[in-house]
């Protein structure tokens, strides 16, 4: 019995040794295996590329597809070059999917017989995309048009195919500048409504045709217009906000309570605007979940402020960016003719912080994107060669800068040629790289090629 027990123990030892010896001798030991880490952003140019044809082509937005490629939305008038499915020189939406090395995967255009201008793109929960813009005529991909310009909202699937499109408007010029998906799976679109041309329609309770709006008849000119849509693009409510002058909404964010903050620029001082500070102000409107005005607040100085983009922050507040010509009231610090101006507010509109960035010439911010580390990348343009920026390539340079949550600048870069170059939108991509899109009229210095009047500009930073 003891002999059998000893034999059994020896057999077990041989089996264990055999299993261990079968392991690949060239494989690293567990404690020596390297752990892959995300590289730090170096602030270097990976590449600069242009896309387009012989006419005018420009990008307004870039998002990261679920597969890691880049999807870019812009507008094109071209019928040649990188545009392969267009035969007329009116403006159309141009949607591209681009590999991380800059190679085009697919290119698709959408529009009607008149000009169709793209203004924004956002990725949706199903892996597709929602696009905003405005159209001038029915036909082709555009099912309806009521006037000079209409909101045109387009839903694409992940392959860039059109799923549905909707037009909203009246006889005047009604332009959508941003569409975002909402928590209920629907969408909200904001822009400007020509209130005078619409005869007061477009508000809560208004009916078409010949209906009466519940909104004040004192409204005139252009007002903020907000439209809430279902997941399939059906209208759920619409309302407008503003005064008797020009009020234009450029962005929207949903709040934690299901309401909306609408961001834009106003030079009105009456009706819905009671706190006008200067010629044009940043104007933020809180709208309830069912489209009613909760409050509106102005930010700025006694000169001109223009608000173009906003985003949520990690602490539940909101950051908004544009430009300023002031140096008083809410604005402290002026570098030159027009500065980039960033303002942080809470969900009730309380001003938490503000910061100007600039040089002795003109600067403007057109986009803001929150990064995974809590910082923000701001995109825009500069003409200055001093102050915060070193743009000295030409008439106007594309600009990107990174700020932290205290609005302190961490990084900035200007890119361009001898003429006009603009940055509109940015997205964080693979391995801490940033992809920036805009447009260029240059064909020298930083710009490798120009095919026509204006090309889409894509910059990748690593």
In a domain, 288, yes or no: yes
pLDDT of residue 393: 85
Give the containing element (helix H, strand E) for 417. Answer: none
pLDDT-based confidence at 18, cuts 50/70/90?
very low
In a domain, 315, yes or no: no
Give Cα 123 to chain centroid, integer Å: 11
- Which residue range forms the structural domain that includes residue 233? 111-299
DSSP string for 248-263: EEEEEEE-TTS-EEEE
In a domain, 257, yes or no: yes
Q: Which of 9-23, 113-127, 252-266, 400-414 has the lowest mean pLDDT?
A: 9-23
- Is the pLDDT at 31 greater than 60? The verdict is no
In a domain, 324, yes or no: no
Beta bridge partners of 440: 421, 455
pLDDT of residue 2: 39
In a domain, 162, yes or no: yes
In a domain, 290, yes or no: yes
pLDDT-based confidence at 37, cuts 50/70/90?
low
Q: Which residues in 294-313 are b (16+ Cβ under 10 Å) and which e?
A: eebbbbbbebbbbbbbbbbb
In a domain, 190, yes or no: yes
Question: Cβ contacts of residue 90 below 8 Å, gap of 6+?
Answer: 77, 111, 113, 114, 115, 116
Per the CB < 8 A criterion, the answer to whether 183 and 258 are in contact is yes
Per the CB < 8 A criterion, the answer to whether 145 and 138 are in contact is yes
CA proximity to 400, closest of 347, 352, 437: 437
Per the CB < 8 A criterion, the answer to whether 435 and 343 are in contact is no
pLDDT one-digit tens code per residue, 226-268: 999 999 999 999 999 999 999 999 999 999 999 999 999 999 9
Per the CB < 8 A criterion, the answer to whether 368 and 321 are in contact is yes
Number of domains within the chain? 1
pLDDT one-digit tens code per residue, 285-313: 999 999 999 999 999 999 999 999 999 99
Other CB atoms within 10 A of residue 395 CB: 13
pLDDT of residue 150: 98
Other CB atoms within 10 A of residue 449 CB: 13
User: ∠ at Cα 421 (40, 457), nearest 5°?
Assistant: 60
Dmax (CA) of the chain? 106
What is the Cα–Cα distance from 223 to 435, expressed in whole angstroms?
A: 33
In a domain, 292, yes or no: yes
How far is residue 314 from each of residues 16, 182, 370, measured CA to CA in Å?
Answer: 52, 18, 9
pLDDT one-digit tens code per residue, 188-225: 999 999 999 998 899 997 644 444 444 555 688 899 99
Q: Read off the pTM.
A: 0.90
- Is the pLDDT at 8 greater than 90? The verdict is no
Q: Cis ω on the peptide bond leading into residue 258 (within 30° of 0)? A: no
Place of tokens 């700020």: 403
């Amino acid at each position: 019995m003891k002999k059998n027990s000893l034999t059994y123990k020896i057999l077990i030892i041989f089996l264990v040794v055999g299993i261990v010896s079968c392991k690949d001798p060239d494989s690293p030991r567990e404690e020596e295996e390297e752990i892959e880490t995300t590289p730090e952003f170096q602030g270097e140019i990976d590449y600069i590329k242009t896309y387009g044809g012989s006419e005018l082509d420009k990008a307004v937005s870039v998002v990261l597809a679920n597969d890691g490629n880049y999807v870019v939305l812009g507008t094109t008038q071209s019928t040649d070059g990188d545009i392969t499915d267009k035969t007329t020189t009116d403006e159309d939406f141009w949607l591209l999917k681009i590999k991380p090395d800059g190679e085009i995967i697919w290119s698709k255009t959408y529009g009607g017989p008149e000009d169709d201008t793209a203004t924004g793109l956002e990725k949706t929960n199903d892996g597709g995309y929602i696009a905003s813009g405005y159209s001038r005529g029915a036909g082709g991909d555009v099912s309806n048009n009521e006037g000079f310009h209409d909101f045109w909202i387009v839903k694409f699937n992940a392959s860039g195919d059109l799923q549905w499109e909707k037009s909203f408007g009246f006889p005047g010029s009604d332009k959508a500048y941003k569409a975002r998906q909402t928590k209920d799976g629907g969408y909200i679109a904001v822009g400007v409504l020509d209130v005078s041309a619409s005869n007061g329609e477009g508000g809560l309770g208004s009916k078409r045709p010949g209906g009466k709006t519940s909104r004040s008849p004192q409204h005139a000119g252009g007002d903020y217009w907000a439209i809430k849509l279902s997941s399939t693009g059906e209208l759920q409510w619409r309302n407008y906000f503003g005064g008797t002058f020009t009020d234009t909404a450029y962005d929207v964010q949903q709040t934690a309570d299901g309401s909306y903050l609408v961001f834009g620029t106003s030079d009105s001082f009456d009706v819905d605007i009671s706190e006008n500070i200067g010629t044009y102000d940043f104007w933020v409107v809180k709208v309830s979940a069912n489209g009613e005005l909760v409050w509106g607040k102005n930010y700025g100085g006694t000169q001109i402020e223009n608000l173009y983009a906003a985003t949520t922050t990690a602490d539940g507040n909101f950051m908004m960016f544009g430009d300023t010509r002031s140096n008083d009231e809410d604005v402290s610090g002026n570098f030159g003719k027009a500065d980039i101006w960033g303002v942080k507010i809470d969900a009730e509109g309380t001003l938490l912080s503000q910061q100007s960035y600039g040089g002795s010439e003109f600067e403007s911010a057109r986009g803001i994107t929150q990064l995974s580390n809590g910082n923000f990348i701001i995109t825009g343009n500069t003409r200055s060669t001093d102050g915060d920026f070193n743009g000295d390539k030409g008439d106007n340079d594309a600009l990107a800068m990174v700020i932290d949550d205290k609005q302190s600048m961490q990084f900035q870069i200007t890119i361009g040629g001898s003429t006009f170059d603009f940055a509109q939108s940015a997205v964080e991509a693979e391995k801490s790289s940033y992809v920036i899109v805009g447009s260029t009229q240059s064909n020298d210095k930083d710009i490798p090629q120009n095919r026509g009047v204006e090309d889409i500009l894509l910059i990748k930073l690593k």
